[in-house]
Amino acid sequence: MRENRSLGRALGLTLSSALLWGFAHLWVGRSRIGLALALIYTALLASGIAVATTFRTTALALLVRPGWLSAVVVITLVVAVFWALVIMASYRLVRPQPLTGGPRLFGGALVGALCLVVMAPLAYASRVAYVSHDLMTTVFAAPRSSVFPSGGDREHVEYLATKPRVNILLAGADAAKNRPGARTDSMTVASVDTRNGQTVLFSLPRNLEHVPMPEGPARDAFPDGFTGGGDSPGLLNEVYQWGEDNPALVPGVPDGQRGKTLLKATVGDILGLDIDYYAMVDMKGFAQMIDAIGGVTVTVKEDIVYGTYREGLVKAGTRRLTGEEALWFGRSRTDSDDYVRMGRQKCLLNAVAKQADAMTVLRGFEQIATVAKRYVSTDIPQTLLPALLDLSTKVKLAQIQSLQFVPPLISTANPDWTFIHTKVKEAITTPVHPEMPSRREALLTQPPDAVSLDAACG
């Protein structure tokens, strides 16, 4: 009889029903509904376990597709609401009658709190999925390249699978108050072996002169290499803004894309590589991204002074840097030069790549997404993300080498482009011998100075 049921037992049965749907229904004899709820719960639990274990890779690939992210938003919200309804229905079945006054309020409050406890993680998952969907559709555009006329997922995956290497230009743009436009003071090409993830980072200094321009209007305008104009010294870091400001150099490309298109082609010609994609980060957003993941731990080999009036200092030692400190670790040239700074930038990239694990990213995900939408641009299409995600897991386990084209290896005022092409080819074709890492390092260091990032960064 319901009149003989205690409030404590009712709450216990309600908690049991929250842990296994249908328990309270089976207790009071409503077997059909109880079994149905238990079967639904078991199916959902089994699916969740399978996704987290056996099909984890497939699930992660689906979660970088906007359509599936929309489905996750809806599914998690529906499950959250349904779970809360099961809890409330279970309590109504088993609560004692009559129940008034303080016991009624106490029981209702506990059941309400239980509903919030089970709904909160699902609501958060739905929120993350929603933010991810917004990020995917904002930063990663639908493919426009003629390589993928229909934009189908299969075409992108097959395209990547048929390439022995994929080359991605990573650029950092910096707009200073005392100069118009933005300059790409950081330019690195990540050349990744698609079979095993082994990667070489090719770094180019900002002050390369007379860089060859891509065929077409740009080369017609600068047949002997880029020289800028007016007060411009004609350095590599000006090519991006020059392309934005001169539509005739990159005909048919819309505003906001001309500079990146010209820089991508120019860097490709310098290295003798086909640059598949680019990713550009405005340096104003870099510090915010580091703060969003809780900082980054690096080894600072000596004190780094920064600021126009030497107002800042990043102290030496192995320490966890804030976003501002990390920005200046990779940006400052005070008491050093471009080439020392380039080395620090590679160490910083390596540290971020190794330390930004899934849980770290998840904790600051909304802030990361907000910063990325504002400060990151790329031509990587949405449909290629699953294949790149799979490739990134290989990169994380593979060797990462760094090759910097800096003096004395080259002369920035009069670079030997054939020499650069030769060294790039050597770096990406030299076989890796895991049992003899020193041999690979020796093959690449005399010259150029290509070394393991782990060894170089301490």
In the prediction, which pLDDT does 73 show?
93
**pLDDT top residue among 123 and 384:** 123
d(CA 375, CA 285): 6
d(CA 450, CA 456): 10
Burial grade of 202 (CB within 10 A; 0-12, 13-18, 19 or more): buried
CB atoms within 10 A of CB 357: 10
The pLDDT tens digits for 12-55 are 999 999 999 999 999 999 999 999 999 999 999 999 898 878 77
d(CA 4, CA 180): 81
317, pLDDT greater than 80: yes
d(CA 181, CA 263): 15
Decide which of 1.20.810.10, 3.30.460.10, 3.30.420.590, 3.40.640.10 is the CATH code for 153-282+340-356+376-457.
3.30.420.590
- As given in the structure block, the two tokens for residue 296 are 């980054």
In the prediction, which pLDDT does 445 show?
38
137, pLDDT greater than 50: yes
Task: Taking residues 136-146, report their average pLDDT.
Answer: 69
Report the chain's C-alpha Rg in angstroms.
28
Single-letter code of the amino acid located at 360: T
Contacts of 437 (CB under 8 A, 6+ apart): 399, 452
Q: Report phi then psi at 134, rounded to 5.
A: -65, -40
Closest CA to 265 of 201, 229, 218, 232: 218
Contacts of 16 (CB under 8 A, 6+ apart): 23, 24
Mean per-residue pLDDT over the chain, rounded: 83
d(CA 154, CA 157): 5
The domains of the chain are located at 2-139, 153-282+340-356+376-457
